[in-house]
A and B are shown apart, each in its own frame.
Chain A
């Protein structure tokens, strides 16, 4: 999908040279369509051998039994050894203890910030604890005028409250993903902090669609910090004026008492169960996982490699903006491995907005969120209980 689809054929050429008997056909689909198209392909019995899946989709496709388990293959592999991948990222591909995808590139969140504004507030580096972070933002705010804010976190994004909840130790869902844990103390702690950012005037109460141009706001100093992903490195470099290029930097996220966790995102390569060329497909997956191939991929797309080995290369090691990502990748956590996660994530920010805008108390908000989530997970509970009874019957 996306740029990756355009570029992968260049990588494939190398593979075909090494394996003259194998021909690889590449189909490109835009991100927006891929999810639906792959699902449709599955139902229509027309799946490819391998597909690149957004790693939050892996649980969904595993749930419908579309993917081939990869643990055995990975254990024997020289080129795709589990140990060299960022554990948090690898785990996003593990459902019920079984691995269904090999990480291809990674994605996580860091803070993009105006280093000059942070320095003017007396901080040479981004703080690493919530308390210090808050203090720094208050300091920055004191030097700002009325419609300027230290931090931009759009109210219609689910990642910030989820990240803060994870940092506070919340599992988000409990009982093997059957019930919501949003009303429990850990998530509540993170959520209280999240809401306070808005209520203390540190972040504007704006939805994603209301911010027409984040780069302009950043340039004019209307925003000092913004949480986002690796592709923004390129955007900020291209869209900010030259005069500003030495005045912004990235930093990993602060946590409660020290550097905090972020979400393990990215894409994986998965093998479809119905493939009739599994051995060859696996060889391709291994090839694409080689450190040098991963690096080439990075130079072509700007996507960050999933293998730690690749990061040792100078191109990446010297990219000063990528350093924060490298650091953050050691502390990434996956989202719950349930197919319903996308809808649950939407509910998180929908309810979250009510609390942020002061329309409901935090307590009521989280209670209603849990209610909604429990409703969404009802089918999952039913199917799991069916599996249990079937297993019981089978073991008699």
Chain B
């Protein structure tokens, strides 16, 4: 029985997820919002890998899921930044509170 148990990893992942969530909701630069979302996905990956080791059915599956999550996150970051660049070309801003033409 090792001293580092499952719940410690889950709490750490929870803290990182909350930091990412708060950043994504309050930051003004869209690039930072994107990278906060990456941080949230990383917290989820910690959960997956922790359950792969300490879960009810330990096995390699959790690590494979983490690999797929990383793949999808990289694709999401690529498309998100490309969309941001198209937006910057049209609006000349990356500040998320100035992109509000649907409000007016």
A binds B: no
| Chain A residues at the B interface, C-beta cutoff of 8 Å | none
Query: Which residues of chain B have a CB within 8 Å of any CB of chain A?
Result: none
